[in-house]
Amino acid sequence: MIGLLASLVDGLLVGSVYGLAAMGISLIWGVMDVINLTHGAMIVAGMFSLYLMVEFLGVPAYVTLPPILIGGLIVGIALYWIAVHRMIGQPPLMSLLSTFAVNLVLIGLGTAQWGTVLFNVPVSLPGSSIGRYTFPGTHIAAALLTAAIAFLLYLFLFHTRPGKAVRAVSGNREAAELVGIPTTRVLALAFGLGVALACVSGMLIGTMFPFTVLSGDAYQLKSFVVTVLGGLGNPAGALIGGIAIGLFEGLTTPFMPVNWTLVFEFVLFVVALIAFPGGLLSLRLPRRAE
Amino acid sequence: MKAVEAKKPGLAAGGVLRRPFFWIMAAIVAAFAVAPSIGNDVELREDLLLAAVYITLASNINLILGYAGYVNFGSIVFFGLGGYFTVYFMSALGWNLVAASLIGGLAVSALAYAFGLGILRLRGAYFALATIGVNEAVQAFVTNFTPWGAGTGIYLSTELFLPLGGPAQALWVIYYALVGVMGLSLYLSYFIKISKFGLGLRAIGENEDAAAVLGVPTPRYKTMVYCVSAFLPAVAGGLYFFKGAFIQPIDAFDLNFSTEAIVTAMLGGQGTVLGPALGAYVYEQLRSWLLTSDTFANFQLVISGALLLVIVLFAPGGLMGWLYRRWPGLRKVLE
């Protein structure tokens, strides 16, 4: 019983990081109705930035967070201009394909450079023990950092001018444009933020679990599940959806092999998509038409 | 609806046979069948075999991508599952190749129908997300499914080649069968395009809400096209993995194939019949040329990705779009 509880708490810690990743997807979708399929590649980019900095520069793992956040923002804004800008306002097929293409290029470069070998970034952080159960220090640190970043994002979106502009564009792009908000720049900023969140969550996942160049796909799928649970375009819902998925994993891992989790999550995903197309939090809203 | 009225009498009177494109497709299939037979050219046969597989995958994904405007990131699931069903039916149940691959194809279509009922109620981007999930989940499922050898896969005994006249002869039989599947894919694509069903699909691709208002049964059409587009790739998968006498999850659900199906359909020109086939052929030739050089072999994904990005950004009509613009008269001849 206590074992299950411990597993649930650990699921909560890890799930919050999934939530952070999903916030990136959700933010981009909410602002520009684009599903960012470079998400998985960006998570992997975060993992490998962590690995490279720790391995070759010798910096402590958590010090890599600010540069990865800023790097992700810059890369994201660049990606917006390369692959997304021309697709705004076109059928969803086009932006899906263009971001998918970028994803292929990045994953292809990654596999050419590192193959599909497992990488591991050792982080020594004392865990916290309750009875016979120990919660790894990395999991606790990741959850705390996630909470901090989510809080900063909240401050940015609700208490700064650019953040308010992002929310305005998300609400109604034409109206935002009419009142003089430079919407294109805001879209680029929002895309950058979404990518930065993906990179940082990749970095945090990298401190917790071993990873390969191809890990992104599984985490990307997880992020989609989380986003759909939380409601597409609702960053706060994403965090809650992430925690829900974490709890789900915590609940199921004692009873089944880990590699079945993905199958179950997918079933959950389809059920959620069909039953609650607006996300668990917004059952009252009508189905969103594209 | 006018277009339907105009086309119907033609169809009834066997007007299809008078259209040049019908015979162009026949010529393509004949060329594929005859070319390697002259002089028993095994190297050319292997090259064209891969091209036939690419054309089959591209033509079938085009039914969804090009006609209905829905992107299916998990099309390789059909190919891989078809391979698994066929190999399993042959190795465990002792069926012959024809029965195994056809029943395998039907089984995959039935599965696609079941998936489709669930996920095709989703629209646009939501559907795309679900197909990514189908890919990951099926792969995870098969990797853990012990009757199918889990992660290690299934080996076929080479004795199974004997009924086809020994290994050397069997490779020719498989080649002709795959060319046949490719031909069926082209004709399927063509007949769907000129049918009322195809018009409905293209209406969905243009504007799903308007199509629904005008009386196109959108959920049923989408489920049907998803189901139909599963059959021939599954049969091709069965033949392909029978040829290799071995199947494992990594090969069966190869990310490269799944993405290349999309890249080739876009390259040739989505929404046309000949485009995906042309794109698949060009891409396959390019690929086999690139794979021979060491530098490029590692960058296959990068090249497909870059190619796709350039097409999506700058030439969404693909090769056919370019041909049509260059020679507008071609629209009447090449569908």
DSSP string, B103-135: HHHHHHHHHHHHHHHHHTTS-HHHHHHHHHHHH
Cβ-nearest to B136 among A91, A217, A260: A217
Instruction: Check which CATH number belongs to the domain holding B136 and give it.
Output: 1.10.3470
Cross-chain residue pair A93–B70, CB shorter than 8 Å: yes
Compute the Cα dihedral for A35, A195, B304, B240 and give only its sign: negative
| Residue-level pLDDT at A5 | 82
Report if residue A287 sits inside a domain.
Answer: no
Report if residue A120 sits inside a domain.
Answer: no
Question: What are B154's strand-pairing partners?
Answer: B247
Mean predicted confidence (pLDDT) in B162-166: 74
Best to test chain B binding among A114, A263, A288 (most B CBs inside 10 Å) = A263
Cross-chain residue pair B125–A35, CB shorter than 8 Å: yes
Bin A123: left if φ > 0, else alpha if -120 < ψ < 50, else beta: beta
| Residue-level pLDDT at A53 | 93
Report if residue A278 sits inside a domain.
Answer: no
Q: B129 pLDDT exceeds 80? A: no
Nearest CA in chain A to B130: A270
Question: DSSP secondary-structure letter at B293?
Answer: S
Q: B201 pLDDT exceeds 70? A: yes
pLDDT in tens, B237-250: 999 998 888 888 88
Domain count, chain A: 1
Is residue B160 within 8 Å of B100, Cβ to Cβ? no
pLDDT in tens, B16-31: 787 888 888 889 988 8
Is residue A141 within 8 Å of A63, Cβ to Cβ? no
Cβ-nearest to B126 among A98, A101, A273: A273
Report if residue A127 sits inside a domain.
Answer: no
| Residue-level pLDDT at A281 | 57
Q: Which domain holds residue A16?
A: 11-104+135-218
Cross-chain residue pair A290–B124, CB shorter than 8 Å: yes
The Cα–Cα gap between B133 and A218 comes to 9
Q: Are strands B154-155 and A128-130 parallel, antiparallel or unpaired?
A: unpaired
Report if residue A89 sits inside a domain.
Answer: yes
| Residue-level pLDDT at A283 | 46
| Residue-level pLDDT at A156 | 93
CB-based contact, A257 to chain B, within 8 Å? yes
DSSP calls for B164-189: GTHHHHHHHHHHHHHHHHHHHHHHHH
Cross-chain residue pair B301–A108, CB shorter than 8 Å: yes
Phi/psi at A254 (5° precision)? -65, -20
CB-based contact, A93 to chain B, within 8 Å? yes
Domain count, chain B: 1
Mean pLDDT value across chain B: 84
Q: Cα dist. B56→B116, B147, B241, B321 in Å?
A: 20, 28, 15, 21
Q: Report CA B311 to chain centroid distance, whole Å.
A: 20
pLDDT in tens, B51-94: 999 999 999 999 998 898 888 888 889 999 999 999 888 888 88
Cβ-nearest to B312 among A98, A220, A221: A98
Cβ-nearest to B123 among A100, A104, A290: A290
| Residue-level pLDDT at B142 | 85
Nearest CA in chain A to B65: A93
Q: Which domain holds residue B208?
A: 2-333
Report if residue A257 sits inside a domain.
Answer: no
CB-based contact, A36 to chain B, within 8 Å? no
Q: Which A-chain residues 105-134 have CB contacts (< 8 A) with chain B?
A: 105-109, 111-112
**In this structure, how many other beta carbons lie within 10 angstroms of the beta carbon of residue B310?**
13
pLDDT in tens, B256-289: 777 788 889 988 988 889 999 999 999 888 887 7
Report if residue A37 sits inside a domain.
Answer: yes
Report if residue A207 sits inside a domain.
Answer: yes
Q: Cα dist. A82→A101, B188, B305 in Å?
A: 11, 37, 13
Spatial CA neighbour of B188 closest among B109, B282, B129: B109
Is residue A101 within 8 Å of B306, Cβ to Cβ? yes
Three-class SS state of A163: helix
| Residue-level pLDDT at A280 | 60
Cβ-nearest to B132 among A102, A221, A263: A221
| Residue-level pLDDT at A45 | 95
Segments of chain A with pLDDT less than 50: 283-290
Cross-chain residue pair B308–A101, CB shorter than 8 Å: yes
